[in-house]
Each structure stands twice: as structure tokens, then as C-alpha cells.
A and B are shown apart, each in its own frame.
Chain A
């Protein structure tokens, strides 16, 4: 617990200039909001953070009051790195401004994009702040490259033009030097100044006097501090300027800035964009990493441009897909930026402390307190305006279909198949669906079956009746619904669409309502559902690549798997520790490229750690092949991936299945101790309709003083999953009950129907039962098992082995089943000791082959029992044990 609180404090500490709401922090750290809110209030009580009241309440790190540094200036504090890499430069700049009587002329050296202009501007602000110059002192900025083709004009522009000095000079024109009198003249790219100009400038620097173009006798005076800037670093130039200009400041290239500064640069820019767009920006961890690590040729300036580009892309997604914020993911990054991820391995350790591995997403919220950031050059909103216009145009012309179609395929497809699959086939209770709706459903489907000459099963019908109920509610409450691809559905399934129109007319008549066209689109989709066609076999198979560090880790892991499954599917690429990341990348790229035609269905990369994890997205972009990556791979994951790939399953399918296996693994390994209180999540689309009914029903069935019931809205799969993730931190989730199935690794799902029908409800209740006290079991067996000495000891040993077995095999069984298994094992040991008990397991060889890993795990886990009681479990019995566990496992 306190760890998480520290995490919150640390996060605030790292962003001392910003204030956060509990929600933003919760998202950024992937913690539960209520908890975060509690931590924050505790931290406030501990006087560690500021609390800014308002809606929402904001919190900010409270910098401990130490002796304040003298002359801490606001002007420079905005500059990222002012107290790190730029500390010396800032001191130089301050000296240059404060040097009596009127400051020192200064030249700033630095590569393109190192921030010279911003630095000069800060010097000016410091001059005002420190009262070295009067508050109305001017700051004139000029880029000498602007008139470089016309030296005369350039000279005149800076020093002024005397009337008649050349044709067209009809009157005296004051130069920039005159305009800058009393203030600062900033001359960017000062090396572009022609020789005469340089001479005149040096005269001014030495004596404080100058002559405009065409003036021969009179000298003019001005009190101006010159700040020059140049990217040039030729020795000749340097020595000239160094000799004539008293103060020279060199700004370091980005590669010499610290990792902290690079992070701050990226963060503050995104913060600024969020503010400008008045919209939350969420960036994946890898996005931030890539930006912090890559090598931009043009330093900060390029980082800024690249970030802008990425934000513009995100803005485009946001507008076209109607997202509720700007999401930046790795695939949005320019290739050059993505390549930063290849440098992860070489990155300093410090990086992991700034960009924590557990922080998956970085949230930047628009701030309403005036942000005054270093990267100040972006008042230009034209990119966003252009996108905005374009999207509007597209929407008007209806040309956005392509994007929406993919959305329907990926998003809606899941929604429907899952929705339906989980609804059992029995008649539903009246509590949930009123009989008139059930009647209409039957009628509708009878017609549909005739018209379409196809049959629909009960679970589809039930799903439809649930849907119909919510549709009626929605229409009666005048809530609109939009089908994202109405036209597509109409064209693709014209026959079903026709039937849907007919059915809608029937429904309209029965319920005296008006069904909108979009709704007909949904009904059409219900008619197109065919559960049997779900996992189509692919002709071409997905490529599975195992890539790991070490001389033969990957190849031997794949070999094992191929042998187990008797297949040749899969490719192993070993990365000996001597191999450089870039070499490895090239090798992988070429390997895939050479057989690119075979990978039309995509590639799954199974990696162990480090830089290998970031190959996927870059490869996908370079080779234009769908690629997914799973890191921290282990043999069972490779086994699952290869198995599914050889069955011809789709990339998405394989990826999800493996990921589930992995979650399972991690959860089981790390959360064995459970002192969390049990809870059940009830859910539906609205969070109040069906969920409410479920809650009422469950309250009568289970002991709510022990098990908490949590209603939750299910709008979108990923968001829901995230909420469940958060809840599992706090609760021991026993079940998810609702209308839409969520295949969540460790928490079984029950449909609403299950709860209103007795059987599955009993399952759930059994699942909630707590462990049965082993002492009582031992007591009841006392005197019946005679061959083993202490029955109590036997039972405890057996229980420990069974617990271990469940962890090692990653299987979950109910408490009741566990009692049975424990008893079974206890009696088995007794039988093995007293007589040569033997019963054959039917089709043993096949079973063993199919369950090789489980068999091995079980056998090994049981060894302590064999040792203690000097017995040997026959292979048949191990098979029975495996069978018992797998058949009884929860989902």
C-alpha cells in the first residue's frame, strides 16, 4: 500500500511545476482512482503536497522550503536544464546582463535547434526582471539570413539608411539598432552578416557608435546590447567573434543534454499541446521512450517538429474516430523517432527511474493556469485547423467510410460474437425479459428463418431479446443510436437488410414505436451472425518468430515446442550477447523480408526482454506486415503460439490467447497470498439496467457482508478490462456477471442467464466458498487411514502439494473440488501403501502426449509425497490427477 503512495508522491515530485487531479494520476500510474485520491489526501495531511481546491481538486508537489538560491530567476527557470546542463550558460548569461554599466555584448554558439533564440529571449526577460533594463526596453530580433542575398539592404536594415544613399532611398530610415535603443538587438545567424556589416557591428561593440548606410560624416549613438547567435563553428569565424564580442556562450547539442532534460522537453511540449488544443493527450510509454532516446539531427527544434507532427496525427485520429482524447501510440511515430527504441539497452539506468516501467501511459491534461513553457514558438494552430477542415469535408462527402469500416470489422465484430456466445440456450426468466418481448423475438426469428432459409439458435434469440429490450427503452427515452457503418452493412448484406426492414415494421407495430434506420443496421447484424463460422481456418499461416538473448535460448525453446507438437511451424532467431541491437534488427528484417509473401497473415514475435521488444512496430512499418509482439515469453507461451499458428488461427486470435496465458501466469505467480476481500462485478451496457437486477438477485443469494457486489458499466471492452485490472488490485474478484462476456484470465464469467437459472448460480456460490479447514478433515478420517502414521500430517502434506500443484499448473478449481482432490490423494496414498493398487487410465499414451507439460509438472510436484511415504505414483494415477484438475478447472 505505502509503496503506491510513494509512487504517487514521486510522480508529483518529478513534475513539480504541474498540478494533477486524482483521475489523471490514477490513469498515469494505472491505479484505482479512489485509492489515489486517498493517498493524495494523506499526503496533503502530511504536508507533502499542495491542494488546490476546485473542480476537480488538484494536487501539486510541495517543494520543501530550503534556503532559496540567490537570484533564482523566473526568466531562466522556464528553460529546461537551467540547473543541469545549462547551469553554466545561465550563469554566463546572467553575468552578461548584469555586468555594469550596461551589460556585455554576447554571442551564442550552438547547432541548429539547440534553442539559441529562446535563450536570447530569456536573457532579455532576465534583464527586465533584474531591472538591468527599464520595463519598456525593446527586444528586437532579426535573422541575418533574411537579406543575405543583398548585403546592402541587410546593412541598411540594421544600421539605417540615409536619404539618397541609393535610388529609392527617398527618406531617412532608422535601422534596427535605433529601434533597439535602450534594449537588446538579437541577431540570429550573425555569420551571414557581410564583411562591411561585421566591421560596423564591431565598431559599435567597441565604441558604441555607428553610421547608417550613406552617412559619411556623422556618427550615431545607441545604447543597445547585442546578442548574436550562430551555428557556424569554423575556427576563423570563432576567433573573429570571440575576439570582438566579450561574452560567448555555447549551448550544448541535444546529445549532451541529460536524460532528465530530454524527458522534460518531451513532457512539457506535450503538455503545451494539450493546453493549446484544450484536450487531454495520452501517450504510450514507448512513445515517450522513443522521443527521449532518438537522435534528431536538428536537436530540440526537430524534437519539437516531430512531436508536433505526431500530435497532428493523433489529432486526426481523434477527429475521425471520435475518440475522447488524443492518443499517441508507437505506430504514429516517424520511423526515425521509433528507432530511438533500439537504443533502450544503451540508455542510462536513470531512464527507468524517470520513465517507470509500470507506467504504461502518460497523460497530459490541459492546464488552465497560464503555462509558460520553454518551447514557446508554437502559437501556430494551422495544422490542427487544417485537419479539422479536412475531416469536416470528409464527413460531409461521406468519404470517411474506409476508416469506419475497419472499425466495424475490428470493434463491432467482437462486440457481437462475444455478446452472443455467452448467452446460454435456455429459456430466460421473466425477471429479465418481459414475455411480450420474448414473443416478438420468437416471431421475428420465425420470419427470419423462413425468409433467409437458415436457422438461428436459442442463444442468438436470447441475445436479440436482450438487445430488443434495451432498444425499446432507448427509443422511448429518445436516446439516439448511430450505426457506424450503416451503408456498408446495407450493401454487404442486402438480403438480411431487406428482412430487417420487414422485421422492424413488425416491431414498430407491436410496440407502437418508430425504429430508426441505424437500428435496422443493428438488427441486420443480428441476422448475419453465424456462430459456427467463427474461427475460420486460414490458408496461409501466421508466422511465429522466437527471438531471445543468448546463444541458443530461442532455438532450443522452439525446438522443444516443435518436438512436442510434432510440427515445423515457427522460426527461432538467437541473439548472442555479443550481437549488437542494430545487427540483430537487420537480421530479423532480412529474414522476414526474404519470405515476406509467406507472412501475409502477419507475424507474432515472441521475445524475452529489452530491445527485442521494440522491433515489432518498426518492422511492421518498414515491411508493411501486421506484427504483434509478446515479451517475457516462456515455453508454454511458445507452445500455445505455435499450436494455434499451425491450426491456422488468425494473428489476433493467437496474440490474445497467448496474452491470456501470460496474464494467468503472472497473476498466479505473484498474487498467491490473498488478504483482499472477495467481490463480484455485475455489469451491463448502462450499469444500471440489467446490472441492477443482477445485484438484487445476488443479494438474496450470497452473503454480501463477506462478498461485495460492484456494479460496473460496460461500454467498451478495453476500458472495462482496465477497470477490472484496477479492481483486482483491491479485491479478490470472484466473478464477473453480466450481459457481455469478458474473457478475463483469472476471473470467471457468468452470463445474466446463468444467475437467473439455478445451476450455474450454484457454481458461483460454490466458487465463493472458502477453504475447508484441513484439521477437521483430518479429524474425520482419524482411524480410517492406518498406513501412514499421523493422518493430520498426511492431510497437511497433501493439501500443500495440491496448492502447489494449482500454482504450478496454473489451474484454478473451486474449494469444493479441492476438498475432493485432497481426499482422493490421501486415499490413493493409503491404497498404494497397503496394496499394489493399479487401475489403468484409458488411452493413456495419447493423453500423456497431449498433456506432456501438465503431466511433468504434476509428477514433479508430487515427489515430496512419494519421498515421505516411500511410494511411487503410477503414471496412470498422475494422468487421472491431471484429468481431474483440467476437467474441473474454472473456465
Chain B
């Protein structure tokens, strides 16, 4: 089990998967033991149940789901946020990772 589990959610889990690989690279470089993965919105619930997720990040295109997720994880104390547009557009793994870490 990794120290930190970061779950990214987007519509189909496709666009975020590229971001995930960039975040993983950045984590390795920094020597952070992090489990970072991307799922589609429909798979999110199952993953939340099975995994001990520490941070939940949403792609900007599913921003409308933020309050839904906040409710779902209210009792687990998992921070939920939306990935910054700039970082998302630029696929800036490092910045998104940094942001995720500050949320924990």
C-alpha cells in the first residue's frame, strides 16, 4: 500500500490517464510513494469503496460532479478539488501532484 493514493476522475478516464502518467513520473522524481490512477465517473464509486483514497481530483469537464462527490466522501474526510484549467490544459503532472499533496 502506497503512502498516498490519488484518484483522478474525468468523463471517460481517458484524458486524465495521460495526466496520471505524468504525475507518476513527477512523484518518482521526487521520491514520493504515491498510487495515482484515473477512472471514469461511473467507476469512481467502486474505487472509493475498495481503495483508501486520500485525495480526489476532478477534471474540469466534470466539475459539476464536485458536490456529489463531496457528499459521498463527507464521512471519509477525503478532500475533493477540481484540477486547475491551466495545469490540465498543459498536462502539467508536476503541478497537479503538488496541488494534490497540499490538499492532504
Which A residues form the contact surface with B (CB < 8 A)? 766, 769, 772, 776-777, 780-781, 784, 814-817, 819-821, 823-824, 826-828, 830-831, 839, 842, 880, 884, 887-888
CA A492 to CA B91, docked complex, whole Å: 63
User: Which residue of chain A lies nearest to B83 when distances are taken between CB atoms in the complex?
Assistant: A820
Among residues of B, the one whose C-beta sits closest to the C-beta of A887 is: B64
- Name the B residues within 8 Å of A828 (CB-CB): 12, 14
B61-85 with Cβ < 8 A to chain A:
61-65, 82, 84-85
Taking the nearest CB of chain A, how far is it from the CB of B51, in angstroms? 21
**In the complex, which residue of chain B has the Cβ closest to the Cβ of A880?**
B11
Contact of A824 among B10, B85, B89 (CB under 8 A): B10
B88 touches A (CB below 8 Å): yes
The 8 Å CB contact of B60, one of A777, A780, A817, A826, is A817
Min Cβ gap B42→A in Å is 7
Residues of B within 8 A of A839 (CB): 12, 40, 42
- Is B61 a contact partner of A821 (Cβ separation < 8 A)? yes
For the complex, give the distance between the alpha carbons of A776 and B88 in Å: 11
Tell me the smallest distance from the CB of B87 to a CB of chain A, in Å: 10
Whether B91 and A824, one on each chain, are in contact in the complex, defined by CB atoms closer than 8 angstroms, is no
A479 to B43, CA, bound (A): 60
A780 contacts B91, C-beta separation under 8 Å = yes
B103 at the interface (CB under 8 A from A): no
Complex-state Cα separation, A131 to B10, whole angstroms: 92
> Please, how many angstroms separate the alpha-carbon atoms of A828 and B61 in the complex?
14
Residues of A within 8 A of B60 (CB): 814, 816-817, 819-820
**Measured CA separation A781–B61 after assembly (Å):** 18
Contact status B64-A824, CB under 8 Å: no
- Assess whether B14 is in contact with A827, with CB atoms less than 8 Å apart: yes
Is B50 engaged at the interface, CB distance under 8 Å to the other chain?
no
Knowing A827-B18, A842-B42, A880-B12, the reply to whether A776 touches B61 (Cβ < 8 A) is no
Q: A777 and B89: CB pair below 8 A?
A: yes
Interface of B is mostly: helix
Are A817 and B61 in touch, CB under 8 angstroms?
Answer: yes
How far, in angstroms, from A828 to B65 measured CA to CA in the complex? 20
Question: What are the residues of chain A within 8 A of B91 when measuring CB–CB?
Answer: 780-781, 784
Verify B89–A823 contact, CB threshold 8 A.
yes
B26 located at the interface, meaning its Cβ lies under 8 Å from any Cβ of chain A in the complex: no
Q: Is the CB of B92 closer than 8 A to any CB of chain A?
A: yes
Task: Kindly state whether residue B90 has any CB partner on chain A within 8 Å.
Answer: yes
B90 A824 Cβ-Cβ under 8 A: no
In the complex, what's the smallest C-beta–C-beta distance from B46 to chain A, in angstroms? 14
Contact A780 B90 (CB under 8 A): yes
**Residues of B contacting A821 with CB < 8 Å?**
61
Let me know if B14 and A819 touch, CB within 8 A.
no
- Determine if A776 and B14 form an interchain contact, defined as CB atoms under 8 angstroms apart: no
Q: Is the CB of B15 within 8 A of A827?
A: yes
Cβ contacts under 8 Å, B18 to chain A: 781, 784, 827
Tell me, in angstroms, the Cα distance from A884 to B91 when the chains sit together: 20
Q: Does B86 contact A (CB under 8 A)?
A: yes
List of 8 A-B pairs having minimum Cβ-Cβ separation, nearest first: A820-B61, A816-B85, A820-B60, A827-B14, A887-B64, A816-B60, A823-B15, A780-B91
**Listed A/B pairs (16) with beta-carbon separation below 8 Å:** A766-B85, A784-B91, A816-B82, A816-B85, A820-B11, A820-B61, A824-B10, A824-B11, A824-B14, A827-B14, A830-B14, A839-B40, A842-B42, A884-B62, A887-B64, A888-B61
Select from chain A the residue with minimum beta-carbon distance to B21.
A784
Which of A823, A824, A827 neighbours the largest number of chain B CB atoms within 10 Å of its CB? A823
A873 to chain B, nearest CB (A): 12
5 further contact pairs, Cβ within 8 A, besides A780-B90, A839-B40: A777-B89, A815-B85, A820-B15, A827-B15, A880-B12
Whether A888 and B64, one on each chain, are in contact in the complex, defined by CB atoms closer than 8 angstroms, is: yes
Compute how far the CA of A839 lies from the CA of B13 in the bound complex, rounded to whole angstroms: 11
Asked if A777 contacts B90 (CB within 8 A), the reply is yes
Among B10, B89, B91, the most chain A Cβ lie within 10 Å of the Cβ of B89
A823-B15, A824-B11 are contacts. A772–B61 as well, Cβ < 8 Å? no
Q: Which residues of B contact A784 (CB under 8 A)?
A: 18, 91
Number of A-B contacts (CB under 8 A): 82
CB distance from A256 to the nearest CB of B (A): 65
Over the window 2-20 of chain B, the binary record of Cβ atoms lying under 8 Å from chain A Cβ atoms (1 yes, 0 no) is: 0000000011101100100
Q: Which residue of A lies closest to B18 (CB)?
A: A784
Q: Is A819 within 8 A of B88, CB to CB?
A: yes
* Chain B residues whose CB sits within 8 angstroms of the CB of A816 once the complex forms: 60, 63, 82, 84-85, 88
Inside 8 A of A817's CB, which chain B residues have their CB?
60-61, 63
Complex CA gap A74/B11 in Å reads 78
Q: Are B15 and A824 in contact (CB under 8 A)?
A: yes
Residues of B within 8 A of A880 (CB): 11-12
Q: How far is the CA of A438 from the CA of B39 in the complex (A)?
A: 45
| Complex Cα–Cα for A772 and B40 (A) | 24
Task: Give Cα A833–Cα B85 distance, bound, in whole angstroms.
Answer: 26
* Residue of B10, B40, B42, B90 touching A776 (CB-CB under 8 A): B90
Nearest A residue (CB) for B59: A820
- Given the interface contacts A780-B90, A781-B18, A827-B12, does A772 sit within 8 Å of B64 by beta carbon? no
Q: Shortest Cβ distance from B44 into chain A, in angstroms?
A: 13
Closest CB in chain B relative to A736 CB, distance in Å: 21
* Chain B residues whose C-beta falls within 8 Å of the C-beta of A887 in the assembled complex: 64-65
Inter-chain contacts of A888 with B (CB < 8 A): 61-64
Q: How far apart sit A824 and B60, CA to CA, in the bound complex (Å)? A: 10
Contact check, B86 vs A823: say whether CB atoms are below 8 A apart: no
B40 to chain A: which residues have CB within 8 Å?
839
A575 and B86 alpha carbons, distance in the complex (Å): 55
Report the bound CA distance from A819 to B14 in whole Å.
14
Residues of chain A contacted by B85 (CB below 8 angstroms): 766, 769, 772, 815-816, 819-820
For the complex, what is the distance from the CA of A594 to the CA of B85, rounded to whole Å? 60
Instruction: Report the minimal beta-carbon distance from A782 to chain B, rounded to whole angstroms.
Output: 10
| A776 and B11 contact, CB distance less than 8 A | no
> Complex Cα distance A880/B10, Å?
11
- B62 near A772 with CB under 8 A, answer no
- Tell me whether A772 and B15 are in contact in the complex, defined as CB-CB below 8 angstroms, given that A781-B91, A887-B64 are known contacts: no
Q: Specify the chain B residue showing the minimal Cβ separation from A877.
A: B12
How many whole Å from B58's CB to the nearest CB in chain A?
9
Which B-chain residue is minimally distant from A883 (CB atoms)? B11
Set of chain A residues within 8 Å of B90, measured between Cβ atoms: 776-777, 780
Whether the pair B15, A826 counts as a contact (CB closer than 8 A) is: yes
> Which A residues are in CB contact (< 8 Å) with B11?
820, 824, 880, 884
CA A831 – CA B40 in complex, angstroms? 14
Measured between C-beta atoms, what is the minimum distance from B88 to chain A in Å? 6
Instruction: Tell me the complex Cα distance, A492–B83, Å.
Output: 53
List residues of chain A with CB within 8 A of the CB of B84: 816
Q: What separation, in Å, do the CA atoms of A888 and B62 have in the docked complex?
A: 7
Q: Which residues of A are found within 8 Å of B10, using beta-carbon distances?
A: 820, 824
Bound Cα distance A777, B86 (Å):
9
Contacts of B88 in A (CB 8 A): 816, 819-820, 823
Task: Please measure, in the bound complex, the distance between the C-alpha atom of A111 and the C-alpha atom of B64, giving whole angstroms.
Answer: 72
What residues on B are CB-neighbors of A819 within 8 Å? 60-61, 85, 88-89
When the two chains form their complex, are residues A824 and B42 in contact, meaning their CB atoms are under 8 A apart?
no
Closest to A773 in B: B89
Q: How far is the CB of A871 from chain B (nearest CB, A)?
A: 14
CA distance A828 to B64 in the complex (A): 20
Of chain B, the residue at the smallest CB distance from A781 is B91
CA distance A655 to B18 in the complex (A): 48
Q: Are A780 and B92 in contact (CB under 8 A)?
A: yes
With most chain A CB atoms within 10 A of its CB, the pick from B14, B15, B40, B92 is B15
- Provide the residues of chain B in CB contact with A824, threshold 8 Å: 10-12, 14-15, 59, 61
A289: min CB distance to chain B, Å? 47
Q: Which residues of A contact B64 (CB under 8 A)?
A: 887-888
Asked if A776 contacts B12 (CB within 8 A), the reply is no
Is the CB–CB distance between A776 and B89 below 8 Å? Answer: yes
Which residues on the B side are within 8 Å of A826 (C-beta)? 15
Chain B nearest CB from A799 CB (Å) reads 11
A847 to chain B, nearest CB (A): 14
Q: Which chain B residues lie closer than 8 Å to A776 at the CB level?
A: 89-90
A592 and B93 alpha carbons, distance in the complex (Å):
66
Q: Which residues of A contact B62 (CB under 8 A)?
A: 820, 884, 888
